[in-house]
Structure 1
C-alpha cells in the first residue's frame, strides 16, 4: 500500500531539540569583524553544524576567550553561560541544534549589551526587540541590536583576555536577573518538551521489558518545510520550523 498522506506532527523532533538554519550576517562591526550578535543562554546548550562556507565562533567562558574555526562539516557546541558570537568568513551556513526546543524563543537568550542597558529591563527590552517581518526596518533594528551587543562584548572580552573575569561574571549575574520572572513559563515548556520526551522513552522501555510492544502501533513518519525563511535572528538570517515542541518563530519580544 502506498500512501501520500502527510501526518500532522504531534511529537517533537528527536530529543525535543530545536532546529533552525542560519546564514551568518555579513554586516561589519566596530572591530572590523562580520557576524552576529554576541549573547548567552541560561539553561540551553547550543550546537552549530556547519553545512557550507567558513567562519568562526568566538566564545567567552571560564576557559577564557576562544576563536573556534568553522568549516564544512565542523561541529561546535557550548553550554549555558557561554557567551558566543558567530563570525562570517565567507558564505557561512549553519544548522543550529538547540537543547530544550523553544526555550530560547521564550527568552533564554541575553545579549551582551553594556551594563547600563542590562540594569534597566525596559531599556534592555527596547534595545533587544526587533519589529516583525523581513523588511528594511527590521534589518536596521537587527543591525543596531547587533552593534550594541558587540559594544558590550568587546569590553567583556578585553577584560577576560587581561585576566579579569569580573565583568564576565557580572554579565552572567545580570542576565540571570533579567530572565528570572520567566523561569516558571520555561519550566512548563521543559515539562511539555524535553522532560515528556524522556518520560515517553521510559514508558516504552517499561513496555518492552514487560513484553508488550503495543505502542508500536502508533508508528508513523513526518515531514516538514521551513515555516519562515530569512528572518532576522541573533546571528544571521534564519529559516525556522513551526513544529510541536520545536523551535517556533520568534514572537518579536526581546528574545532574539
Structure 2
C-alpha cells in the first residue's frame, strides 16, 4: 500500500480528531445507567460529537438550557459545544465514534472533570485526582484509578445538578466554568501552538487555495494525495467516559 503526500494541516476534514469509545460498564454510585456510565466533564475550547455505532444509552448534558437527556441508539448523533457538561450513560454495549474539533487540544488537556468544588479550587488536588498510573502499571490498577476518578467526578456532578435545581443553569455553571478556566489557563499558550500547527495551518491553506481559485489557478492540486490513518497500537486507553481506541490525526 502506498500513501500520498502528507500535505499541510490536519489529516481529517476540518481538523477533527477521531476516537472510538466503549462506555464504561462500571455501575455508577448514583444508579444512573442500566450498565454504567462515564465521568462528567466539559471542554474549554473544543466541540465534541457522538456518532452512535451500537448499543443503547444516553448522553446527559448541562448547558445554558439546563439539564438535558439525549437518547443514544445506532445512528444517533449528538453534538455539544465548549462549556457543556456531558456524561455518557451506558444501558448496554454502548459503542460510540467520537469526533472532536481542534485535533490535538483535547490530548493537550482541553477537558476538566466535575470534581467537587474544593478539588476544583486546588490545582494540586485536581492534578492528583485526575492522574492515572502510567502504562507500566497493571491494568487492574489503572482501571481502579479511572473508576475512582469517575466516582469523584460524579460526586461533584451531583452537587452541580443540585445547584441547577436550586438556582438555575446559568448560576450553577458560572463557578464551574470559572474554576475550569483557572485550571487550564497556564496551558493555553501551548494549546495555541498545537492549534496553529494543525487546524490553523489547514485554515490558512484553504484561504490560499480560495485566493488562487478566484485567480484561475490551483497549484495546491499538484500535491493531491491520500493518507491512511492507523490506530494507535496497544490496548485501549482509559478515557474519561470509557475505553478509547484512538488514531493519530495530527498534521
Q: TM-score, with normalisation over the residues of structure 1?
A: 0.90
* Counterpart position of 1:6: 3
Asked if the contact 1:26–1:88 (Cα under 8 Å) also holds between the matched residues in 2, the reply is: yes
Matches within 5 A, 1:10-159: 10=7, 11-12=9-10, 13-33=12-32, 34-133=36-135, 135-159=139-163
Mapped to 2, the partners of 1:244 and 1:194 lie a distance apart of 9
List gaps (5 residues or longer) in structure 1.
246-256
Mapped to 2, the partners of 1:76 and 1:37 lie a distance apart of 17
- Aligned-pair CA distance for 1:162: 3.3
Mapped to 2, the partners of 1:119 and 1:9 lie a distance apart of 43
* Counterpart position of 1:209: 214
Mapped to 1, the partners of 2:164 and 2:172 lie a distance apart of 8
* Counterpart position of 2:244: 238
Asked if the contact 1:9–1:244 (Cα under 8 Å) also holds between the matched residues in 2, the reply is: no
Mapped to 1, the partners of 2:215 and 2:5 lie a distance apart of 30
Give RMSD over aligned pairs: 1.5
Asked if the contact 1:20–1:240 (Cα under 8 Å) also holds between the matched residues in 2, the reply is: yes
> Residue 185 of structure 2: which of 180, 184, 189 is its match?
180
- Aligned-pair CA distance for 1:209: 1.6
- Aligned-pair CA distance for 1:7: 4.3
Mapped to 2, the partners of 1:32 and 1:9 lie a distance apart of 47
Mapped to 2, the partners of 1:225 and 1:55 lie a distance apart of 28
Asked if the contact 2:5–2:224 (Cα under 8 Å) also holds between the matched residues in 1, the reply is: no
List gaps (5 residues or longer) in structure 2.
none
